[in-house]
Structure 1
Amino acid sequence: MSLKIKKDLKKIRKYIDKIDIQLLNLISQRARCAKKVAKIKISKDPKTKFYSPDREAQVLRNIIRNNKGPLSNEEISRLFREIMSACLALEFPIKVAYMGPVGTFTQKAVIKHFGKSVISIPVKDVFNTIENKKYNYGVVPLENSTEGIVNNTLDSFIYSKLKICGEVILPIHQNLMIGKKNINKNIEKIYSHQQSFAQCRNWLNNNYPIAKRILVSSNAEASKIVKTESKSAAIAGDIAASYYSLKIIAKNIEDRINNYTRFLILSDKDVGPTGDDKTLLMLSIKNKIGSFYLLIEPFYRYKIEILRIINRPAPETNGVWNYIFFIEIKGHRKSKLLEKILKEVDMRGAEIKILGSYPEQLIRENKSNEE
């Protein structure tokens, strides 16, 4: 290395050190401001919730608008989410319940949305846990781009009073992993959740056609089993490999490259409008000719974008078979236009339940960003 290059490197590194100190001071200043915000909130309401999904969405959108590179919007938003997560932990640690056990994709969704400073707690029933106010927020899976809707989540909304306050769209990578006892990588049994088996069906047929496939309740459970079992492997995400000290022997074995799962953030509070929101409605009407048309016609007439329509069987009453429709639309429930439409739908004899309005996820991360 020439003397000139050494001098140039020394000069740039000295400049970087100076910038790092400036960043440190600014982050510390932001953290002090966050503590002041906490004091103001507590003075107004001792039971206040410090995390504001609408405010966080506005902050991240502002950051993205002003990002001139060279770091991508994905990287910048991830960095700022972690800063906000750490600052929130100074105010009051956020406790988030998710469908356990540890090491699942749902836990990964918690970390992606709330940052690594959050306290994530695995539970059996997320809806019941949040309704009983044991924790602040909950995260549940809603749909997978390969395997479709998680029916149990939708059915839970029928009786729940919880509100949706956010969404997470997570790229799903499936990996084949083994424990330390499987030294020779001899695989006779493969454990996993049924959805993961379905997402990797072709890969398994081509690579392990003879291995016995054993269904378990979760990928984390599969990982726990193979940790101490020889001649076996598990299909799970990298977070499970980390938690259960497993070795990944084949990465990204899902059959479809664009494999995503969407998760919902649950709370007992509504979220204010951010200007770029979605609303999930639960609608039901007596099953007769033209009844479905009565439900959706006003949305089309007023040019409200319908993102998806899902139907589920309603709890049977008096031997009559009816359906409940889950309709996700663009816009916030507090907009005058949406209030007008819902009033019109109500007048047509429909039962309406607003499951929540929430900020649309800012960026769907590319697969390459997760690898």
Structure 2
Amino acid sequence: MSQDPKLKERLSKLRVKIDALDEKLLALLNERASVAIEVGEAKREGGASFYAPSREDDLVRKLQEKNGGPFPSSAIRPVWKEIMSASLSLESPLRVAYLGPQASFTHQACLKHFGLSALCLPVRTIGEVFDHVEKGKADFGVIPVENTTEGAVSNTLDKFFDAKTKIVGEVMLRISLNLMNKSGERGDIQKIYSHAHALPQCRNWLEAHMPDVPALEAPSTAQAARMAAEDETLAAVAGQLAGELYGLLNVEASIEDNPNNFTRFLVIGKEIPEPGPCNKTSLLFAVKDQAGALYHMLRPFYDNNVNLTKIESRPMRRKAWE
């Protein structure tokens, strides 16, 4: 269909305006990058930390408050996240260890928090994430800590007993699980693989629609996707990013039982970050085995009107039942 000449002319003029604005944006981004390099040099000379999450949060919050539209305020954070990530890579590229492999949900949380310019390092276990940070192989680490359906990730919590790292941030990620294989056909599936925490999150769907197909554990959702890509009889329960990476087709999308399925990830580092207006504090403590011990520990929070969002009890493992 031929385009109306007047419409064509109008669109052409508007596109010229957009092209000119894009060139101005590019020039401003490069000007900002030059200043970021100077900031990096100043931090290096003064021994200051390159990464300041509270500064980033304050910047985004102020921009959202000043935004008069029509650019959506909800888009400001992801746009500036990438701008700040790219700028930080010019100051000092961040190395971030995460529970891999590539395209796992922890990888997605890593990208969401640090941006595409960070050097994301996949490792095999949660313990290795802690190890990389403590030994200086990575500046930060990203680890899963709890899910709205399955609760706490015990392995992560237990690592903090002996860890020298600090919690410096958190990431909330919406978890959508797809059933995928090479053909996209349900009839080809003889076995289903996924991570031990992912399978229970879609238990009801699998029992209702695939009752005779065994659901087996894989080291991660991304590894399950890789296995399904190598064997036409296998299917994976994984995220969309993993499916795209390994060339899988959706048999059924969004099979999680809880539509509000979120996983919270922790960001760990060696230094406690500067305080900010939205900081959270996590404490690890033990109490004596006597009446009222927990009450006396928690009473000061009540007295000072400090809200507690979560309390988790874990075994000490050094002595039975403590």
Pair in the same fold by TM > 0.5: yes
Q: Which residue is equivalent to 1:270?
A: 272
Q: Which secondary structure does the structure 1 equivalent of 2:314 belong to? A: strand
**Superposition deviation, residue 85 in structure 1:** 0.8
CA RMSD of the aligned region, Å? Answer: 1.7
Q: Which residue is equivalent to 2:11?
A: 9
Work out whether residues 178 and 185 of structure 1, in 8 Å CA contact, stay in contact via their aligned partners in 2: no
Q: Which residue is equivalent to 1:81?
A: 81
**Superposition deviation, residue 185 in structure 1:** 5.1
Measure, in 2, the Cα distance between the counterparts of 1:3 and 1:217.
59
Q: Which residue is equivalent to 1:140?
A: 143
Structure 1 residue runs of 4 or more that deviate by more than 4 Å after TM superposition: 182-185
Q: Which residue is equivalent to 2:172?
A: 169
* Residue identity matched to 2:161: I
Of 198-207 and 293-302, deviating more is 198-207
Instruction: Work out whether 1:96 is the aligned partner of 2:104.
Output: no
Work out whether residues 185 and 231 of structure 1, in 8 Å CA contact, stay in contact via their aligned partners in 2: no
Matched ranges for 1:9-158 at <5 A: 9-45=11-47, 48-123=48-123, 124=125, 125-158=128-161
Deviation string, structure 1 residues 89-119 (Cα, Å, up to 9, x no partner) = 1222111001122221000000000001111
The TM-score with structure 1 as length reference comes to 0.82
Distance 1:141 1:21, change over 3 A: same
The TM-score with structure 2 as length reference comes to 0.94
Of 238-247 and 83-92, deviating more is 238-247
Measure, in 2, the Cα distance between the counterparts of 1:183 and 1:169.
32
**Superposition deviation, residue 204 in structure 1:** 1.1
* Residue identity matched to 1:149: A
Q: Which residue is equivalent to 1:359?
A: none
Q: Which secondary structure does the structure 2 equivalent of 1:235 belong to? A: strand
Q: Which secondary structure does the structure 1 equivalent of 2:216 belong to? A: strand
Measure, in 1, the Cα distance between the counterparts of 2:288 and 2:264.
30
Deviation string, structure 1 residues 314-345 (Cα, Å, up to 9, x no partner) = 2334x6x33xxxxxxxxxxxxxxxxxxxxxxx
* Residue identity matched to 1:117: S
Work out whether residues 98 and 110 of structure 1, in 8 Å CA contact, stay in contact via their aligned partners in 2: yes
Which of 182, 203, 206 lines up with 1:179 in the alignment?
Answer: 182
Measure, in 1, the Cα distance between the counterparts of 2:5 and 2:301.
70
Measure, in 1, the Cα distance between the counterparts of 2:283 and 2:201.
29
More strand by share: 1
Measure, in 1, the Cα distance between the counterparts of 2:254 and 2:35.
42
* Residue identity matched to 2:63: I
**Superposition deviation, residue 133 in structure 1:** 0.8
Q: Return 5+ residue gaps in structure 1 as ranges.
A: 323-371
Instruction: Work out whether 1:288 is the aligned partner of 2:321.
Output: no
**Superposition deviation, residue 243 in structure 1:** 2.4
